Structure 1
Amino acid sequence: MAQRALIVGGGIGGMSTAISLRKQGIEVDLIDLDPQWRVYGAGITITGATLRAFKALGILDAVMAQAYTGEGIQICDVNGHPLHRVPTPVAAGSDTPGCGGIMRPILHKILSALTLELGTQVRLGLTVDAIDSDAHGVSVKLSNGEAARYDLLVGADGVFSRVRTLLFPDAPRPQYTGQCIWRIVAPRPASIERRHFFLGGPAKVGLTPVSSTEMYMFYLETTPKRVPLPESELPRELHRLLDGYGGILSEIREGLGAHSQVVLRPLEGFLLPRPWQKGRAILIGDAAHPTTPQLASGAGLAVEDGLVLAEEVARASDVETAFDCFMKRRYERCRLVVENSLEIGRLEQLRAPPEAQTRIVKESLEVLAQPV
C-alpha cells in the first residue's frame, strides 16, 4: 500500500484528495504555487451529486450551515416571468438536497481547515519542475530546487496544469468555447427561493442563492475572446449587456456601479484523452477534464475524483492498479459532463429554444444522481 503522496495544487480537487488520502492513513504533502493560497471568483452552484460528495468527504454540515441548499431550477423569460421548472434529482442513495450554492471563499475555508486538521503538510509558493516515475515510486524536483520522492503524485493544478505538461507534453490545450462568463454577487430577495435561468434573450442569465442573504448572477456572453478589461470598466460593460432584461435582472442592472465587484472569465474546456496517468503520477479535476459551468459540476467532479482515488489506492495492491481502477470509474462520468456542458454552451450561442437547452440539463442531472 502507498505510504506517501504528493499533491500538486491546493484547490478543491487537491484538498479533497488530501483529505481522502489522510483518512486512509497516507502521509500527504500538498504544494500550491500561490504563496497566499488564495481563491478567486464569486459563488459556485452545487448539484445534488456534489452535495453527496461533500457528505462523503465529511464537510456537508459545515457547507449547509453557510450555504444555500434546495431543489429545482426555475426557468423564466427575459422579464422574469416563469416558464417551467427543471427538477434537480436527489443523488441516489443520499438524503442530501437536490442543489445548492456557496461562495468560493467559504468553501475554500472549510476545505483548507479540514486539510490542515487531518495533518496534511501544506507548502506554498511551490510547484514541480520535473517528474521521474519508476516501478517503485516517483521522484520530483520542486521549483525551489528541492528533490523528493513519493509513492504517488496527484496533479490537481487546474486547467493550465504544470503536471499535465510534464507528463504529456503533446496533450491538447484548453480551447476557448466562444463564451465569456460574467459574475456578480448581489443581495438575495425573498422571491429567489431557488436557482433561476432567464432564457430567450441575447444571452443566458442565471441566479443562484449562496446563503440566506446573498446570491450571485451569471451572464453567459457569446463573443470573440475578449481583451481583458480594467476592473473599473466591468460594471459599466455589464450594465450595457443587461439592457433589455426586466424584473429582478433590471434591478441588478440599475444597482451596478463603481462599488460592484464584477468577475469576468473566458470559458475554456476540453477532455484529456485516456490515460490520465503515467507511471505513478495521475491527473484529476480540471487538470484532466476542465469543464464549462453549464452543468455546475466542475467542483463536484473534482471532489469525487479525490474520494474515488483514495478508495482505489487503499483497496489495490499497487499504485498502478489503483490508477487503472480509478480511470474505469471516472472517465465516462467526466466525459459526459464535459461534452454535455460544451453542447449546452453551443446551443446557448445558437440561441436554441429553451426546451432544447434545459432538456440536456435535466437528462445530465439524472445521470449524475446515480452512484459514483
Structure 2
Amino acid sequence: MAREKSVLVVGGGTSGNAMAVLLRRAGIAVDLVEAQPDWNVRGSGITLQGNALRVLRDLGVWDEVRAHGFGFDSLGLTAPDGTVLHVSEDIRTGGDDLPATLGMRRPVLQRVLADAVRASGANVRLGTTAEILTQDDTSVAVRFGDGDEGRYDLVVAADGLNSATRAAVGIDTRPEPTGMAIWRVAAPRPAGVVRTDLTHGGPCYIAGYTPTSDDTLYAYLVEPNRDRATIRPETYAREMRRLAGGYGGVWDEIRESITDSAQVNYTWFDRMLVKGPWHRGRVVLVGDAAHCCPPTMAQGAAMSLEDAWVLSQLLTSGAPWDEELLTRYYERRVDRVRMVVDGSVRIGQWQLDGVRGDLPGLMGTTMTALKELP
C-alpha cells in the first residue's frame, strides 16, 4: 500500500488556504503554518472576478461567499462630482452561472476559507513560522518557529509578497514599487451603490468603491506613492478624508464615515513575476510569493486562487511529484499571469504618464482570455 503523501503549506492567506482544502480533498496529509496568531483576519474589502469565484465554488465555499458578499455584473465610470458618465456590462470570466464580480469584506472571506481548512482536516499551526533546513530528491526537512521539526514530500510557499521561503530557496526576485499607492477603508453602503464605480481624475489617479455586502462597501483612492515615514498612522483617517474631498456624489457619504485611522489601510502598488520555474527542488511557490500586480484589474486574488487550483490538479493527477510535474505547473500559469501583471501595470503607467490608453480594449481582451480555464 502506497504511503500517504504529505505537504506543508507555508502561509494561510487566500492561496495557501485553497491549497490546503484541495489537497485534503484528495486524501493528502496537509500541515498549514501561518505566522499570524489570528490567521490574518483583517483588511477592508476585496474584489473577486468570476474566475476567482469559479475556484471558490470548486472549493465548496461559494454558497457562503455569495451569502456574505455582493455580486454584480456592471462597472460604472463617474466624473469627480459623482455624475455617472458610462456604465458597461462586465464579462463573466467564471461562466454565465456566476456573477461577473463580487465584492466582499476581506476578513469575512478569510474566515470562510479558514473554516473550510479546519473542516478539511488539515493540521493548522498558527503564530509560528517554518524554515527550510535541507531537501533531497524525495523530501524537505523543516524547522518550525517553536522548535519542532518535520519532513514533507513537498512544501508549498504561499507566504506572500515578501516570502521568506522564496528567498530561502535561492529565488532572489523581489517586488518593485510601481509609483502608486492606495488608501482603503470599509464604510457603510449607501443604498444606491450596486456596483463598482470608478473615477479617473480629480485629486487622485483613481477614486472608487465596491459594495461588499448589503450594508457595507470598501472605498479606495489611488495616488502617487509617498514616503510612509511622512504619514503618521494616527492621521490616516484625516488624510483619506482630505483626498476624498475632491469627489462628490456617493463620496459625500463615504467621506463622513472615515473617522477611525485604525480602519484605514495605506499600501504601495508593487509588481513582481518570478522568472523561470516557480520551484526549487521540492519547494514550490503559489500566489503572491510567485507574482503580484497592482489591483487595477482586480485580478490578484483570482490569480492566486488559480495557482492553487492548477497545482492541486497536477499533484492529485497520479503523476510523480518530480521536476517535470512542477515545471508543467509553471508552464500552465506563466503566460496567463504575465498577461495580467503586464496589463495591470500598463493601466497604472498610463495614469502616471498622463496618457489616455485604450482601457476598454485592454480590459476586454484580458477578461475574454480569462474566461478560458487556466
TM-score, scaled to structure 1: 0.94
TM-aligned CA distance change 1:26 to 1:86, over 3 Å: same
Alignment correspondent of 1:190: 191
3-state DSSP of counterpart to 2:237: helix
Q: Tell me if 1:350 matches 2:353.
A: yes
Q: Tell me if 1:155 matches 2:157.
A: yes
Tell me how far apart the structure 1 counterparts of residues 202 and 358 of structure 2 sit (CA, whole Å): 15
For residues 79-102 of structure 1, the C-alpha deviation after alignment (integer angstroms, 9 at most, x for no partner) is 121222333211365511111100
Q: Quick check: 1:176–1:225 contact (8 Å CA) kept in 2?
A: no
> Quick one: which amino acid aligns to residue 280 of structure 1?
R
3-state DSSP of counterpart to 1:16: helix
Tell me how far apart the structure 1 counterparts of residues 115 and 87 of structure 2 sit (CA, whole Å): 37
Alignment correspondent of 1:333: 336
For residues 252-292 of structure 1, the C-alpha deviation after alignment (integer angstroms, 9 at most, x for no partner) is 22443357822111222211111111111100000000222
Q: Quick check: 2:314–2:325 contact (8 Å CA) kept in 1?
A: yes
3-state DSSP of counterpart to 2:255: helix
Measure how far apart 1:178 and its partner are.
Answer: 1.0
Q: Quick check: 1:179–1:225 contact (8 Å CA) kept in 2?
A: no
**Mean CA deviation greater in 256-265 or 39-48:** 256-265
Measure how far apart 1:214 and its partner are.
Answer: 0.8
TM-aligned CA distance change 1:351 to 1:159, over 3 Å: same
3-state DSSP of counterpart to 1:315: coil
3-state DSSP of counterpart to 1:330: helix
Tell me how far apart the structure 2 counterparts of residues 116 and 337 of structure 1 sit (CA, whole Å): 32
Percent sequence identity is 34
> Quick one: which amino acid aligns to residue 234 of structure 1?
Y
**Mean CA deviation greater in 190-199 or 65-74:** 190-199
Alignment correspondent of 1:27: 29
Q: Quick check: 1:131–1:166 contact (8 Å CA) kept in 2?
A: no
Tell me how far apart the structure 2 counterparts of residues 84 and 160 of structure 1 sit (CA, whole Å): 38
Q: Quick check: 2:31–2:123 contact (8 Å CA) kept in 1?
A: yes
Q: Quick check: 2:141–2:150 contact (8 Å CA) kept in 1?
A: yes
| More RCO (CA 8 Å, sep 6+) | 1
For residues 94-116 of structure 1, the C-alpha deviation after alignment (integer angstroms, 9 at most, x for no partner) is 51111110001100111011101
TM-aligned CA distance change 1:12 to 1:258, over 3 Å: closer
> Quick one: which amino acid aligns to residue 195 of structure 1?
T
3-state DSSP of counterpart to 1:295: coil
TM-aligned CA distance change 1:259 to 1:68, over 3 Å: same
TM-aligned CA distance change 1:114 to 1:255, over 3 Å: closer
3-state DSSP of counterpart to 1:319: coil
> Quick one: which amino acid aligns to residue 344 of structure 2?
S
> Quick one: which amino acid aligns to residue 84 of structure 2?
P
Tell me how far apart the structure 1 counterparts of residues 259 and 43 of structure 2 sit (CA, whole Å): 19
Q: Quick check: 2:11–2:157 contact (8 Å CA) kept in 1?
A: yes
Alignment correspondent of 1:87: 89
Tell me how far apart the structure 1 counterparts of residues 55 and 303 of structure 2 sit (CA, whole Å): 9
In structure 1, stretches of 5+ residues that fail to align are: none
> Quick one: which amino acid aligns to residue 296 of structure 1?
A
> Quick one: which amino acid aligns to residue 364 of structure 1?
T
3-state DSSP of counterpart to 1:44: strand
Please give the root-mean-square deviation of Cα atoms over the aligned residues, in Å: 1.9
Measure how far apart 1:25 and its partner are.
Answer: 0.8
Q: Quick check: 2:187–2:257 contact (8 Å CA) kept in 1?
A: no
Alignment correspondent of 1:39: 41
Q: Quick check: 1:155–1:164 contact (8 Å CA) kept in 2?
A: yes
For residues 220-275 of structure 1, the C-alpha deviation after alignment (integer angstroms, 9 at most, x for no partner) is 11134432633321111112212322211233224433578221112222111111
For residues 276-318 of structure 1, the C-alpha deviation after alignment (integer angstroms, 9 at most, x for no partner) is 1111110000000022211111111111111111110111421
3-state DSSP of counterpart to 1:367: helix
3-state DSSP of counterpart to 2:222: strand
In structure 2, stretches of 5+ residues that fail to align are: none
TM-aligned CA distance change 1:102 to 1:93, over 3 Å: closer
Alignment correspondent of 1:77: 79
Tell me how far apart the structure 1 counterparts of residues 224 and 96 of structure 2 sit (CA, whole Å): 37
Q: Quick check: 1:225–1:266 contact (8 Å CA) kept in 2?
A: no
3-state DSSP of counterpart to 1:247: coil
Tell me how far apart the structure 2 counterparts of residues 363 and 342 of structure 1 sit (CA, whole Å): 15
The equivalent position to 2:326 in structure 1, one of 300, 323, 328, is 323
Aligned residues: 370
3-state DSSP of counterpart to 2:132: strand
Q: Quick check: 2:178–2:270 contact (8 Å CA) kept in 1?
A: yes
TM-aligned CA distance change 1:84 to 1:59, over 3 Å: same
> Quick one: which amino acid aligns to residue 172 of structure 1?
T
3-state DSSP of counterpart to 1:293: coil
For residues 331-356 of structure 1, the C-alpha deviation after alignment (integer angstroms, 9 at most, x for no partner) is 11111111111111112223433x63
For residues 150-193 of structure 1, the C-alpha deviation after alignment (integer angstroms, 9 at most, x for no partner) is 11110000000011011125x12111111111011122122111
